[in-house]
Structure 1
Amino acid sequence: MSKNIIITGTSRGIGYELAKQFANQGHNVLALSRNTKSLDSLNHKNITTISVDLSSNEDLVKAEAFIKNNWTRVDILINNAGKLINKPFSELSTEDFKEVYNVNVFAVAELTKKAIPFMKKGSHVITVSSMGGIQGSMKFPGLAAYSSAKGAVITLSELLAEEYKNQQIAFNVLALGAVQTEMLEEAFPGYEAPLSAKEMADYIFEFSLTGNKYYNGKVLQVSSSTP
């Protein structure tokens, strides 16, 4: 049976690959990102793109309106969008922190809140975090805003799993190690990650559809290396 799936951060990398994969398997995808050109050019009948600045509540209302008017339910929400600023801590401004937290934390909370009324028993919310957000993991200088935000959504997801367990909506986090994406290349030019965006998307695709049978309120460390 085809499912209704919301994915954020779909202009490139893992989100783009996920949107294609779900659509090609016959699922309905609502793809939310600032830039919709790459997916629009596919012209896929199962993909609806909405240009959204995730840090803008007015933009998120556009997504909510689409769900209300076109879908009766949301089966899977994948909070994949990420914002990374790589700067020494002494140079990180409050504005930098806000920019990173707006996308990596507040938008996750806001979009999840808008999707929950459409979620039924068996729905699954997956938030993509980072190994940098795991307590005790190896940390990298320059990622104070990014990694602390990725730690915040881990705790948020654990709380939501508890809060919605009676409704049987599952919340899980995938803490990813290094994946060869444009975002990684921009932050760490020349670094070669062990996994491609397509390979990681394959894993997340399967986990989104079946992981909630086995996990709820859990953080899975998806990394074959340090980080």
Structure 2
Amino acid sequence: MKQKVIILTGASSGIGYQTAKKLAKEGHIVYSAARRIEKMETLKAFGVKPLWVDVTSEESINKAIETIITTEGKIDVLVNNAGYGSYGAVEDVDIEEARKQFDVNLFGVAMLTKKVLPYMRQQDSGTIINVGSMGGRLTIFFGAWYHATKYALEAFSDALRMETKQFGINVVIIEPGGIKTPWGYIAADHLEESSKGGAYEKQAHKTAEGMRKQYSGNMMSNPKVIANTISKAINAHRPKARYLIGFGAKPLVFLHTILPTRWFDWIMMHAFQT
């Protein structure tokens, strides 16, 4: 296995944390990036090098890239994993919150990608892995803005893959299903908060409670499943363009493809009902 220099965002918990740990144990040089740098201290024991990065801050991204290039002289892999779920009815969610969702889940990805690409082009090689979601191929109840960012990430990744092929750069999108991370609780909290006192409050509360119940149970996949998939893509000579993996991902995307739209709407509207 060839040692690679990797920068990975959103590494303070969940998928990012497990991925950074696994890649470092495999012998790669891993720079973990997140705002909560204190949450990454324990990764140092595995050889991971934490960096404070806010993916919406160009200054922090520039500093991180400069640090890696100065120290290592190259960047072989970028894993864009940072993101969060902000759920709520379109009527309820403030437009500023919607913009923040795009800033983190899409424009942050784009900004970091733009900074890394010149170095990858210069070395005629590289891999960019965007951690999306099965939610980039179907939409869950009350998830308009989150799913809009993930659908956009799918298109962004497809375009980027075609553009960079001539430079020997691989672009991969990981599409996790239900993964047991804090994501579900954060999304549920946003949903309840946005709906308070509004026309959707009753349905939103019921859906949020259902989300918490499912994410506290044993159905969701372990984040290590996604970490293993990211590792597979990084170490592959020719990685797949897409990896659809995790609880519910393949069957739900299949149902979305074959069922009439209103039938699938009904399934999504009742998926988290308790």
Give TM-score scaled by structure 1 length: 0.91
CA distance in 1, matches of 2:106, 2:224: 25
Q: Please name the residue that 1:181 is paired with.
A: 181
Judge conservation of contact 1:7–1:29 (CA < 8 Å) in 2.
yes
What is the CA-CA distance between 1:45 and the residue it aligns to?
A: 6.4
- Give the distance between the partners of 2:54 and 2:80, measured in 1 at CA: 14
> Cα RMSD between the aligned structures?
1.7
Secondary structure in 2 matching 1:191: helix
Q: Does 1:132 align with 2:157?
A: no
Q: Which residue of 1 aligns with 2:110?
A: 109
C-alpha distance in structure 2 between counterparts of 1:154 and 1:115, whole Å: 19
Task: Provide the C-alpha distance between the structure 2 equivalents of 1:41 and 1:173, rounded to a whole number of angstroms.
Answer: 28
Shift of 1:201: 1.2
1:154–1:219 contact (8 Å) kept in structure 2 = no
2:233 is equivalent to residue 213 of structure 1: no
Shift of 1:97: 1.0
Equivalent residue, structure 1, for 2:201? none
Distance 1:142 1:62 in 2: 37
Select the structure that is richer in helix.
2
| Partner residue, 2:158 | 158
Q: Percent identity?
A: 29
Match of 1:109, SS? helix
Structure showing greater radius of gyration is: 2
User: TM-score if structure 2 supplies the norm length?
Assistant: 0.76
Alignment of 1:1-227 (within 5 A): 1-44=2-45, 46-119=47-120, 120-134=123-137, 137=138, 139-187=139-187, 188-192=211-215, 193-210=219-236, 213-215=238-240, 218-225=241-248, 226-227=251-252
Give the superposition deviation at 1:118.
Answer: 1.9
Q: Structure 1 residue runs of 4+, over 6 Å off?
A: none
Which sections of structure 1, spanning at least 5 residues, go unmatched?
none
Structure 2 unmatched runs, 5+: 188-210, 253-274
Aligned length: 221
Quote the offset at 1:67 in angstroms.
Answer: 2.2
Q: Is the 8 A contact 2:106 2:153 kept in 1?
A: yes
Counterpart contact for 1:11–1:36, Cα < 8 Å = yes
- 2:78 and 2:129 in contact (8 A); partners too: yes
Q: Could you say which structure has the higher strand fraction?
A: 1
